[in-house]
Protein backbone atom coordinates (compact mmCIF):
# COMPACT_ATOMS: atom_id res chain seq x y z
CA UNK A 1 0.00 0.00 0.00
CA UNK A 2 1.29 3.44 -0.91
CA UNK A 3 2.14 5.53 2.13
CA UNK A 4 0.62 8.96 1.71
CA UNK A 5 3.05 11.72 0.80
CA UNK A 6 2.51 15.48 0.63
CA UNK A 7 2.53 16.19 -3.09
CA UNK A 8 1.87 14.62 -6.47
CA UNK A 9 3.09 16.18 -9.72
CA UNK A 10 0.04 16.42 -11.96
CA UNK A 11 -0.02 17.88 -15.47
CA UNK A 12 2.88 20.20 -14.85
CA UNK A 13 2.45 21.30 -11.25
CA UNK A 14 2.63 19.95 -7.72
CA UNK A 15 -0.74 19.43 -6.05
CA UNK A 16 -1.73 18.10 -2.65
CA UNK A 17 -1.94 14.29 -2.49
CA UNK A 18 -5.69 14.36 -1.77
CA UNK A 19 -6.33 16.78 -4.65
CA UNK A 20 -4.78 14.58 -7.36
CA UNK A 21 -8.14 13.33 -8.62
CA UNK A 22 -9.70 12.42 -11.96
CA UNK A 23 -13.27 12.17 -13.26
CA UNK A 24 -15.05 8.81 -13.11
CA UNK A 25 -15.35 8.92 -16.93
CA UNK A 26 -11.58 9.08 -17.40
CA UNK A 27 -11.00 7.03 -20.56
CA UNK A 28 -8.10 4.94 -19.21
CA UNK A 29 -10.19 3.91 -16.21
CA UNK A 30 -12.62 2.23 -18.60
CA UNK A 31 -10.40 0.93 -21.38
CA UNK A 32 -6.91 0.55 -19.90
CA UNK A 33 -4.96 2.59 -22.46
CA UNK A 34 -2.13 4.09 -20.46
CA UNK A 35 1.56 3.68 -19.69
CA UNK A 36 3.49 3.79 -16.45
CA UNK A 37 6.90 3.23 -14.91
CA UNK A 38 8.21 1.93 -11.62
CA UNK A 39 11.41 3.66 -10.48
CA UNK A 40 13.36 3.66 -7.22
CA UNK A 41 15.45 6.25 -5.44
CA UNK A 42 18.05 5.18 -2.90
CA UNK A 43 19.96 6.95 -0.18
CA UNK A 44 23.61 6.60 -1.08
CA UNK A 45 26.56 5.97 1.19
CA UNK A 46 27.81 9.56 0.99
CA UNK A 47 24.53 10.94 2.37
CA UNK A 48 23.07 12.05 -0.93
CA UNK A 49 20.16 10.39 -2.72
CA UNK A 50 20.02 9.03 -6.25
CA UNK A 51 17.37 7.82 -8.68
CA UNK A 52 18.42 4.55 -10.28
CA UNK A 53 18.45 4.63 -14.08
CA UNK A 54 16.14 7.62 -14.24
CA UNK A 55 16.77 8.52 -17.87
CA UNK A 56 16.31 4.96 -19.09
CA UNK A 57 13.02 4.65 -17.24
CA UNK A 58 11.74 7.89 -18.72
CA UNK A 59 12.87 6.79 -22.16
CA UNK A 60 10.90 3.56 -21.75
CA UNK A 61 7.85 5.56 -20.62
CA UNK A 62 7.99 7.58 -23.83
CA UNK A 63 8.56 4.41 -25.87
CA UNK A 64 5.52 2.79 -24.25
CA UNK A 65 3.40 5.84 -25.01
CA UNK A 66 4.54 5.86 -28.64
CA UNK A 67 3.72 2.17 -29.05
CA UNK A 68 0.25 2.87 -27.67
CA UNK A 69 -0.26 5.90 -29.92
CA UNK A 70 -0.16 8.45 -27.09
CA UNK A 71 1.77 11.72 -27.32
CA UNK A 72 3.07 12.86 -23.94
CA UNK A 73 2.64 16.65 -23.64
CA UNK A 74 6.02 17.09 -21.93
CA UNK A 75 9.62 16.41 -22.90
CA UNK A 76 11.75 13.66 -21.39
CA UNK A 77 13.84 16.30 -19.65
CA UNK A 78 10.73 17.86 -18.13
CA UNK A 79 9.62 14.48 -16.78
CA UNK A 80 13.09 13.76 -15.36
CA UNK A 81 13.11 17.14 -13.62
CA UNK A 82 9.54 16.62 -12.37
CA UNK A 83 10.51 13.29 -10.77
CA UNK A 84 13.35 14.92 -8.85
CA UNK A 85 11.08 17.86 -7.95
CA UNK A 86 8.44 15.50 -6.55
CA UNK A 87 10.95 13.56 -4.48
CA UNK A 88 12.24 16.80 -3.00
CA UNK A 89 8.75 18.14 -2.35
CA UNK A 90 7.96 14.97 -0.39
CA UNK A 91 11.32 15.07 1.41
CA UNK A 92 12.02 11.51 0.31
CA UNK A 93 15.64 10.47 0.57
CA UNK A 94 14.63 7.13 -0.91
CA UNK A 95 11.43 5.56 -2.13
CA UNK A 96 9.31 4.44 -5.05
CA UNK A 97 8.36 6.61 -8.03
CA UNK A 98 5.30 6.04 -10.22
CA UNK A 99 4.94 8.14 -13.39
CA UNK A 100 1.61 7.51 -15.14
CA UNK A 101 0.46 8.63 -18.59
CA UNK A 102 -3.25 8.21 -19.23
CA UNK A 103 -6.15 9.30 -21.41
CA UNK A 104 -8.38 11.81 -19.68
CA UNK A 105 -12.12 12.33 -19.72
CA UNK A 106 -13.99 13.40 -22.82
CA UNK A 107 -15.32 11.15 -25.54
CA UNK A 108 -16.44 7.72 -24.42
CA UNK A 109 -16.27 4.57 -26.48
CA UNK A 110 -13.21 2.55 -27.44
CA UNK A 111 -11.64 5.24 -29.63
CA UNK A 112 -10.08 7.89 -27.38
CA UNK A 113 -10.62 10.65 -29.94
CA UNK A 114 -9.16 13.97 -28.88
CA UNK A 115 -9.29 13.26 -25.15
CA UNK A 116 -6.36 14.91 -23.34
CA UNK A 117 -3.23 12.94 -22.47
CA UNK A 118 -2.53 13.51 -18.80
CA UNK A 119 0.59 12.83 -16.73
CA UNK A 120 0.98 12.23 -13.00
CA UNK A 121 4.04 11.43 -10.88
CA UNK A 122 3.63 10.04 -7.37
CA UNK A 123 6.36 9.12 -4.90
CA UNK A 124 6.20 7.30 -1.59
CA UNK A 125 8.34 5.27 0.83
CA UNK A 126 8.48 1.58 -0.08
CA UNK A 127 10.52 -1.29 1.29
CA UNK A 128 10.90 -4.85 0.00
CA UNK A 129 8.08 -5.53 -2.47
CA UNK A 130 7.73 -9.23 -1.66
CA UNK A 131 8.27 -8.95 2.08
CA UNK A 132 11.13 -8.09 4.41
CA UNK A 133 12.47 -11.67 4.52
CA UNK A 134 12.18 -12.29 0.80
CA UNK A 135 15.60 -10.90 -0.17
CA UNK A 136 17.35 -13.27 2.24
CA UNK A 137 15.16 -16.35 2.50
CA UNK A 138 13.56 -16.35 -0.93
CA UNK A 139 9.95 -16.82 -1.93
CA UNK A 140 7.55 -19.56 -3.04
CA UNK A 141 6.13 -19.36 -6.56
CA UNK A 142 3.35 -21.08 -8.48
CA UNK A 143 3.12 -21.64 -12.21
CA UNK A 144 0.06 -19.68 -13.21
CA UNK A 145 -2.92 -21.08 -15.10
CA UNK A 146 -2.90 -17.76 -16.98
CA UNK A 147 -0.64 -17.48 -20.03
CA UNK A 148 1.57 -14.46 -20.69
CA UNK A 149 0.65 -12.19 -23.59
CA UNK A 150 1.47 -13.14 -27.16
CA UNK A 151 3.46 -10.45 -28.95
CA UNK A 152 0.69 -9.66 -31.42
CA UNK A 153 -2.21 -9.76 -28.96
CA UNK A 154 -0.89 -7.08 -26.63
CA UNK A 155 2.04 -4.75 -27.14
CA UNK A 156 4.48 -6.58 -24.89
CA UNK A 157 7.28 -4.00 -25.20
CA UNK A 158 5.03 -1.32 -23.73
CA UNK A 159 4.61 -1.05 -19.97
CA UNK A 160 0.90 -0.60 -20.60
CA UNK A 161 -1.74 -0.31 -17.88
CA UNK A 162 -4.11 -2.81 -19.52
CA UNK A 163 -1.39 -5.45 -19.85
CA UNK A 164 -1.38 -5.80 -16.09
CA UNK A 165 -4.86 -7.33 -15.89
CA UNK A 166 -3.01 -10.51 -16.85
CA UNK A 167 -0.58 -9.91 -13.96
CA UNK A 168 -3.32 -9.17 -11.44
CA UNK A 169 -5.13 -12.41 -12.29
CA UNK A 170 -1.94 -14.45 -12.00
CA UNK A 171 -0.79 -12.82 -8.76
CA UNK A 172 -4.22 -13.07 -7.14
CA UNK A 173 -4.43 -16.76 -8.02
CA UNK A 174 -0.95 -17.47 -6.62
CA UNK A 175 -1.60 -15.65 -3.34
CA UNK A 176 -5.00 -17.35 -2.93
CA UNK A 177 -3.22 -20.70 -3.28
CA UNK A 178 -0.71 -19.80 -0.57
CA UNK A 179 2.23 -18.71 -2.71
CA UNK A 180 4.10 -15.41 -2.80
CA UNK A 181 4.23 -14.87 -6.53
CA UNK A 182 3.28 -16.34 -9.91
CA UNK A 183 5.43 -17.55 -12.79
CA UNK A 184 3.74 -17.16 -16.16
CA UNK A 185 4.47 -19.26 -19.24
CA UNK A 186 4.39 -17.92 -22.78
CA UNK A 187 1.96 -19.15 -25.44
CA UNK A 188 4.33 -22.00 -26.36
CA UNK A 189 4.71 -23.19 -22.78
CA UNK A 190 8.14 -21.75 -21.99
CA UNK A 191 8.81 -19.76 -18.83
CA UNK A 192 8.20 -16.06 -19.50
CA UNK A 193 8.38 -13.99 -16.30
CA UNK A 194 6.66 -13.23 -13.02
CA UNK A 195 3.60 -11.06 -12.62
CA UNK A 196 5.83 -8.00 -12.36
CA UNK A 197 9.38 -9.34 -12.54
CA UNK A 198 11.88 -10.92 -14.92
CA UNK A 199 13.22 -14.37 -14.01
CA UNK A 200 16.68 -15.95 -13.93
CA UNK A 201 17.90 -19.48 -13.19
CA UNK A 202 21.40 -20.80 -12.41
CA UNK A 203 22.58 -24.27 -13.48
CA UNK A 204 26.19 -25.54 -13.56
CA UNK A 205 27.40 -22.02 -12.86
CA UNK A 206 25.65 -20.56 -15.93
CA UNK A 207 22.99 -17.88 -15.46
CA UNK A 208 20.05 -18.07 -17.84
CA UNK A 209 17.20 -15.63 -18.38
CA UNK A 210 14.34 -15.58 -20.83
CA UNK A 211 15.01 -13.62 -24.03
CA UNK A 212 13.14 -10.47 -24.97
CA UNK A 213 10.38 -12.17 -26.93
CA UNK A 214 7.04 -11.71 -25.17
CA UNK A 215 8.46 -10.11 -22.02
CA UNK A 216 9.08 -6.54 -20.96
CA UNK A 217 12.69 -5.38 -21.21
CA UNK A 218 13.30 -4.86 -17.51
CA UNK A 219 15.90 -2.28 -16.58
CA UNK A 220 16.87 -4.18 -13.44
CA UNK A 221 17.16 -7.28 -15.65
CA UNK A 222 19.48 -5.37 -17.95
CA UNK A 223 21.50 -4.07 -14.99
CA UNK A 224 21.91 -7.52 -13.44
CA UNK A 225 22.98 -9.05 -16.76
CA UNK A 226 25.67 -6.39 -17.19
CA UNK A 227 26.74 -6.63 -13.57
CA UNK A 228 26.93 -10.44 -13.67
CA UNK A 229 29.03 -10.46 -16.84
CA UNK A 230 31.37 -7.86 -15.39
CA UNK A 231 31.79 -10.15 -12.36
CA UNK A 232 32.85 -13.00 -14.64
CA UNK A 233 29.61 -14.99 -14.80
CA UNK A 234 28.35 -16.46 -18.05
CA UNK A 235 24.87 -15.11 -18.78
CA UNK A 236 22.78 -16.68 -21.53
CA UNK A 237 19.49 -15.32 -22.82
CA UNK A 238 17.53 -18.37 -23.96
CA UNK A 239 14.16 -19.97 -23.45
CA UNK A 240 13.76 -22.64 -20.79
CA UNK A 241 10.92 -24.85 -19.67
CA UNK A 242 9.18 -25.16 -16.33
CA UNK A 243 11.04 -28.37 -15.48
CA UNK A 244 14.34 -26.53 -16.01
CA UNK A 245 13.20 -24.15 -13.30
CA UNK A 246 12.49 -27.11 -10.98
CA UNK A 247 16.03 -28.50 -11.30
CA UNK A 248 17.85 -25.16 -11.22
CA UNK A 249 20.50 -24.74 -8.54
CA UNK A 250 19.20 -21.21 -8.00
CA UNK A 251 16.43 -19.02 -9.32
CA UNK A 252 15.59 -15.39 -8.73
CA UNK A 253 13.40 -12.53 -9.86
CA UNK A 254 14.57 -9.05 -10.80
CA UNK A 255 12.57 -5.84 -11.02
CA UNK A 256 12.45 -2.29 -9.74
CA UNK A 257 10.05 -3.30 -6.98
CA UNK A 258 11.41 -6.81 -6.39
CA UNK A 259 15.06 -5.71 -6.76
CA UNK A 260 16.76 -9.15 -6.72
CA UNK A 261 14.55 -11.67 -4.93
CA UNK A 262 15.55 -15.36 -4.73
CA UNK A 263 13.04 -18.13 -5.42
CA UNK A 264 13.28 -20.95 -2.89
CA UNK A 265 10.38 -23.10 -4.11
CA UNK A 266 8.40 -23.56 -7.32
CA UNK A 267 5.22 -25.63 -7.47
CA UNK A 268 6.12 -27.35 -4.18
CA UNK A 269 9.61 -28.28 -5.43
CA UNK A 270 12.57 -26.89 -3.50
CA UNK A 271 14.99 -24.87 -5.62
CA UNK A 272 18.62 -25.59 -4.70
CA UNK A 273 19.11 -25.38 -0.96
CA UNK A 274 15.75 -23.69 -0.43
CA UNK A 275 17.20 -20.25 0.24
CA UNK A 276 19.21 -17.54 -1.48
CA UNK A 277 22.12 -19.23 -3.27
CA UNK A 278 25.69 -17.95 -3.65
CA UNK A 279 25.13 -16.38 -7.07
CA UNK A 280 21.99 -14.55 -5.97
CA UNK A 281 23.67 -13.36 -2.77
CA UNK A 282 26.70 -12.08 -4.67
CA UNK A 283 24.57 -10.27 -7.23
CA UNK A 284 22.41 -8.78 -4.48
CA UNK A 285 25.51 -7.53 -2.69
CA UNK A 286 26.95 -5.94 -5.81
CA UNK A 287 23.59 -4.54 -6.95
CA UNK A 288 23.04 -2.75 -3.66
CA UNK A 289 26.59 -1.36 -3.83
CA UNK A 290 25.70 0.11 -7.21
CA UNK A 291 22.43 1.75 -6.14
CA UNK A 292 24.11 3.15 -3.02
CA UNK A 293 26.83 4.78 -5.10
CA UNK A 294 29.62 2.49 -3.90
CA UNK A 295 30.78 1.33 -7.34
CA UNK A 296 32.09 4.18 -9.51
CA UNK A 297 31.95 2.02 -12.64
CA UNK A 298 28.16 2.35 -12.64
CA UNK A 299 27.97 5.97 -11.54
CA UNK A 300 26.26 6.82 -14.85
CA UNK A 301 23.20 4.85 -13.69
CA UNK A 302 22.58 7.30 -10.84
CA UNK A 303 20.97 10.75 -10.90
CA UNK A 304 21.80 12.44 -7.61
CA UNK A 305 19.72 14.92 -5.66
CA UNK A 306 19.66 16.35 -2.15
CA UNK A 307 16.65 17.19 0.00
Mean pLDDT by 10 residues, the chain (307 residues): 87 97 97 98 97 98 98 98 98 97 96 97 84 85 96 93 97 98 97 98 97 95 98 98 98 96 98 95 97 97 96
Of 50, 102, 98, 67, the residue nearest 217 (C-alpha): 67
Q: Which of 159, 171, 244, 282 is catalytic?
A: 159
Q: Is the dihedral of CA 139, 293, 6, 63 positive or negative?
A: negative
What is the model's pLDDT at position 129?
67
What is the model's pLDDT at position 3?
83
What is the model's pLDDT at position 134?
86
Residues across the chain:
307
Q: What's the angle, vertex CA 153, arms to CA 152 and CA 158, rounded to 5?
A: 80
Long-range contacts from 78-82, C-beta under 8 angstroms, 24+ separation: 79/119, 79/121, 80/54, 80/55, 80/303, 82/9, 82/12, 82/121
* 3-state per-residue secondary structure call for 250-296: EEEEEECCCEEEEEEEECCEECCCCCCCHHHHHHHHHHHHHHCCCCH
Active-site residue flag, 159:
yes
What is the model's pLDDT at position 1?
58
Q: Are 120 and 104 in contact (CB under 8 A)?
A: no
Q: How far is 1 from 261, CA to CA, in rounded Å?
A: 19
What is the model's pLDDT at position 6?
94
What is the model's pLDDT at position 28?
98
Q: Are 31 and 108 in contact (CB under 8 A)?
A: no
Whole-model pTM: value is 0.95
SS3 180: coil
SS3 187: coil
> How many other β-carbons are positioned within 10 Å of the β-carbon of residue 81?
13
Burial 257-281 (b: 16+ CB within 10 A, else e): bbbbbbbbbbeeeebbeeebbebbb
Q: How far is 121 from 43, CA to CA, in rounded Å?
A: 20
Amino acid sequence: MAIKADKIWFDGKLVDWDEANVHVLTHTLHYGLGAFEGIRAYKTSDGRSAVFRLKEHTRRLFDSAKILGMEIPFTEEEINNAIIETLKANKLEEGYIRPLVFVGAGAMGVHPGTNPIRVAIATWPWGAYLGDDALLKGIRVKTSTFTRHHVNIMMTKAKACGNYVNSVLAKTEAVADGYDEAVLLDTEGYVAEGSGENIFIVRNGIIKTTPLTSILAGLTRNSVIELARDLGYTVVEERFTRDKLYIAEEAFFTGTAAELTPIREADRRTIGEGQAGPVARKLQEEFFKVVKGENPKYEHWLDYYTI
